[in-house]
């Protein structure tokens, strides 16, 4: 009698991507991890692809010790990038990655005080779903570093800082830079993906009055 065997089920796959842009240095850093779980294995694991993936036109390098592909290069602002890769079944995939930015920012014309509320505004697009702003305050004189993370409502174009938040900043000269973070999740060609982008602004100098 003839027997027929069922084809092996396709492995479960997912993609994890991290993209960081440093405005002051003009540097782009990318990490991409391609994870597979075969039917006969217990845990998913990073895999090396048949050929290196590309971020738009640039090849990423395989780092066996980390199980991921990376890229570091000088770059202008990467508003949008395409991650392109081929899986073991010889299928090509393409994931569009958008990176929200902050072109300029400030707290308005009024002098800032450590005991008064302040309104923060920026240019670069309103808050989007899955976003947060990280404010990194640094006072080199007092050696203070004060991080503040704000999760905004989608569509918001300003942030009101209450006096209690401003009281964390002692009077003096501060350096401030922002990180605009966004988490994007979805599926491309039925492959789940998770993308984290971080846009770092150049620092500005701000004086906080009593």
pLDDT tens profile 57-73: 999 999 999 999 999 99
* pLDDT at residue 8, as a whole number: 55
Mean pLDDT within 122-145: 94
Query: Model pTM greater than 0.85?
Result: yes
Q: 138 φ, ψ to 5°?
A: -135, 125
CA 45 and chain centroid, separation: 23
User: What residues contact 91, with CB distance under 8 A and at least 6 apart?
Assistant: 189
Q: Do residues 185 and 193 make contact, with C-beta atoms less than 8 angstroms apart?
A: yes
* pLDDT at residue 5, as a whole number: 54
> 108: which DSSP letter?
-
Percent of the residues in the chain that have a pLDDT greater than 70, as a whole number: 93
* pLDDT at residue 6, as a whole number: 52
Residue 166: pLDDT over 60: yes
Of 54 and 89, the structure prediction assigns the larger pLDDT to 54
């Amino acid at each position: 009698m003839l027997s027929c065997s069922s084809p092996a089920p396709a492995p479960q796959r997912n993609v994890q991507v991290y993209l960081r842009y440093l405005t002051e240095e003009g540097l782009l850093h990318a990490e991409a991890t391609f994870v597979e779980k075969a039917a006969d294995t217990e845990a998913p694991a990073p895999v090396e692809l048949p050929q290196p993936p590309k971020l738009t036109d640039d090849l990423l390098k395989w780092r066996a010790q980390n199980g991921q592909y990376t890229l570091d290069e000088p770059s202008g602002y990467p508003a949008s990038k395409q991650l392109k890769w081929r899986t073991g079944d010889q299928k090509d995939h393409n994931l569009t990655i958008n990176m929200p930015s902050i072109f300029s920012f400030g707290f308005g014309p009024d002098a800032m005080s450590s005991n008064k509320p302040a309104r923060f505004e920026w240019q670069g697009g309103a808050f989007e779903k899955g976003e947060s702003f990280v404010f990194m305050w640094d006072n080199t004189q007092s050696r203070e570093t004060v991080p503040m993370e704000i999760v905004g409502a989608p569509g918001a174009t300003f942030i009101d800082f209450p006096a209690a938040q401003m009281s964390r900043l002692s009077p003096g000269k501060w350096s401030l830079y922002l990180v605009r973070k966004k988490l994007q999740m979805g599926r491309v060609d039925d492959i789940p993906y998770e993308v984290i982008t971080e846009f770092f602004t150049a620092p500005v100098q701000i004086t906080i009055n009593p």
